[in-house]
Every structure is written in structure tokens, then in C-alpha cells.
A and B are shown apart, each in its own frame.
Chain A
């Protein structure tokens, strides 16, 4: 009798305090692609920015497609993704103020040590993809409308391979994030396209290695966009601007260049002043 009463009292306390923890300090919300989060870039950058400005940056890391969708629902103040055409569309439709290049790295194709399609060391990514298709070697696609997924689909198109009809056979769409897709690829010994940052910081590599890299077509540009307050009145304008300006400033750009994993730089700043 007495015990349930205290139990209930304790629970009510939880319920009362639960809402209060949220944002009381200055903060902003970034809708971001996963690679920047999973590689640890934000864990490195944000403390520097927060220390300088006192603004807390909250990151929601989802695929580029979903990040853009969330931002166009006004559920974010800044968008940081990597799918230029979709980004430009976002701005053109009036959701974002302006799109700025912030940094780049590149995509790579990773595959098992056995290299069943024999593509290891190839420079021409379209030719490599065509070879994988010809060998019916398993390939795992993100299949989640993310920046990487959009890029991969474009590459297949350029390689003139119809992956749609192969879906379910050698071409397998995981419908999930980069990390989960890499886990799947490693699990089934399949090739996959990844951004270099996620791959380098990925811990479950198994016997996998980079098989194709260095093609200009594998260039991976990250863009940053402020959500337009004209479209979304709830947007935190000042904080969003402060964060974006800092990212593009010489100081922010230097910080991006300073982030390494295992001695390797993952992102290369290229904001135009």
C-alpha cells in the first residue's frame, strides 16, 4: 500500500522534471548528413565553436534526403548536407537563404579482400561499376535517398547500368545509413560506395579495403545552408548565422582542416571567401 504510493510519487517527479531539461541556453539545431556526425567531426568542431560563442549546437544526423525534408518542415536552423542539386532546389523553393560550399572529400568504393569483380586499383569509377555489374558481384546500395545514394545512382547511370532491374539479385538496397550499409556490405562480402570520412572512422572493416578511388567523378562536396526565416519564422536566425559564418571563416575552415582520424585528414575546407 505505502510502497506503490512512493513509487507513484517518484514517477511524477520524473514526469515533472523531464520537460525542463530542454534548451534554456542559446542553441541551434543543425539537420546534418550522417558522415560528418559518425566520423566525429562535430565532436571536434562544436566544442571550439561553443567555447567561442556560448551557443550550443544540437545535431540531428540523418540521411541528406531526410535532413532536407526535416529542414523544409522548419525542424532545424541550419542544413549541412552533400547533394548539390537537392540543396539548390531547397534554396530555389524558398526554404533556404543561400547555399555555400564548406568543405569536400571524396567517395570511394570499398570491397572485400578477395575482390571478386577484379576492380581493385581502377581509377575510372564508371568502368569499375560496369565491371562489378558484369561480374554480378554483390553491391550494397544505401537506397535511402541520401547524398551518397543520389551520387551512387548518378554513377550507375553514367556507367549505363540498369540497377533497378538487378535490385534483389546482386544489387542490394539496404535502405539505411552509411554505417549500417557498411556493416551489411562487410557482412555479405559486397562492394559499396562510401564517403571517405565515414569509411576511415568506421570500426568494423573486417578484411575490406578501398578498391576504387581518385576519379574526379567521386568528388564529394558538402554544402551549408541557413533555413530561411521568411519561410520558417521559428528559425533561430542569429545563432544559425553565427554558426554558418564561423564554419566559413578562416578560423572555422582551419578547424575543419585540423580534424584527423588516425593521422588522416577527413574533410578539406573549400569555402570561397
Chain B
């Protein structure tokens, strides 16, 4: 059997045996990446929308910066967070390095710019549609951002999915700040890296298949929710 077939069979066996070790790392992966997504959404959605509706000097610079930060390699963010959270770093006293919290922080920093930049694009186009109406209805600024975010919610679900995809798939940042500690900070991607380092390519690939399956499930769930909600709320 080739590594590929073996990996596929192994992935199925891992899944259907409900391997507790696998469940543990899948759960942690989801917990870390969904938490990061939640926090990044809390930051990125209003920030992106605010950039879309306001005109201020340096706005172009902010947009360029956001777009550039979308391409930052996770390792760089991992290093940055490591240096912040290390005992020798400015936030060392918090003792967060090598905990899931550190991983959430790193992934939040990783995907917040992505969510902000994509939100900016989505909201800017909706704002083009709404701006005259807003001015005509004398909608105050503090109401515009929430209104646009709410009315763009279906497109923003896709934005959030993009953020989630990047978070759950990255290994560079969580490896450095989480340390890939068994039963504490080991997630899907760091486990894959570890199995690869052990030369157990079939096991690594099997975990990769499981990761893809999770991604498909999450994406599928969101699309179903989105369509159901959209049918009810908006055309």
C-alpha cells in the first residue's frame, strides 16, 4: 500500500474509532481557532467597517497596511507574540506563553487584519449603495457602522470563514507560542508537523485528511446556515 492509501485508511480508522487523542487535539484546534475568530471578528469587523465609511488623512495608508498584513507569515506573528509573552518580554508576568491563550492571541493577530481588510471591501461596496440613503435619512455615524455590518452579514460570514480557514490551517504561530505540548497545546497542525518530523508520513497525512474534513464540515455548515437565513431575511 502506498503512503497515500495507507494515510487514507488510517484517517478513516482514526475518525471512526473516535480516538480520544485525536478528539482532544481536534477539540483544541477548534477551541483555539474559533476563539481567535471570535476575537478577530470583534476587532476586525467594526474596524474594517469604520475604515469603509470614514474619510480621514492616512486612510489609504491604513488600507495598504491592512492588505499587506494579510500576507504576514504566521511564523513572524508567532515570533512577535513569543517575544511579547516570553518571561523576558514585556508581558511575561502574565505567564501565558505555552498556553492555549497564547495561541489564541497569536491567531487573533494573524487573522484580524484579514477580517478587517475583507470587511472593508464588503462594507465599502454596500456603503456605496447606502450612502445617499444614509445621508438622506440623516443616519448618525455611530449607527452607520452597525447597520452596514448587519446588512452585510451574509457576505461577512464568508469573510469569517476565510479567517477561520487561515487560523485553523496555520502552524507557524501556534508552534512557537504554544510549543506543541502534548495534552496542553497540541493542535491538528502541530501534530501533523510532529508526525512528519517522526517520519510517520501516513499518520501525518491522515491527520491532514481529518483537518480537511473539519474545514469542509465548518464551511458546509456555514453555507447551509447562510442559505437558510438568507431565504428568510433578504434577497
Contact = CB atoms under 8 A, between A and B. Distances in A.
A201 B197 CA distance: 11
Contact of A22 (B153, B182, B184, B200): B184
Interface residues of B, number: 41
Given A4-B153, A18-B32, A59 B38 contact: no
A203 B35 contact: no
Interface string B87-106: 11100110101111100100
Contact of A201 (B194, B196, B198): B198
Contacts of A21: 99-100, 184
B32 A58 contact: no
A1 B233 contact: yes
Contact of B34 (A3, A14, A60, A179): A14
Interface in A199-220: 201-205
A74 B196 contact: no
B87 A23 contact: no
Contacts, number: 112
A232 interface: yes
Contacts of A4: 153, 157, 229
The range of chain A's interface size is 35 or more
B88 A22 contact: no
A204 B205 CA distance: 13
Nearest to A37: B194
Interface in B86-131: 86-89, 92-93, 95, 97-101, 104
**Among B153, B180, B184, residue most surrounded by chain A Cβ atoms (within 10 Å):** B184
B228 interface: yes
A204 B100 contact: no
A126 interface: no
Contacts of B92: 74, 234
Contacts of B87: 73-75, 232, 234
Contacts of B194: 38
A73 B153 CA distance: 44
B37 interface: yes
Interface string B41-75: 10000000000000000000000000000000000
17 contacts: A1-B232, A11-B41, A14-B31, A14-B38, A15-B38, A21-B99, A22-B101, A22-B184, A38-B194, A38-B198, A58-B181, A59-B181, A60-B180, A182-B199, A202-B199, A203-B198, A234-B92
Given A18-B101, A58-B98, A180-B197, 11 more contacts: A3-B229, A7-B225, A11-B35, A59-B181, A60-B180, A72-B88, A74-B86, A75-B88, A75-B97, A179-B197, A232-B87
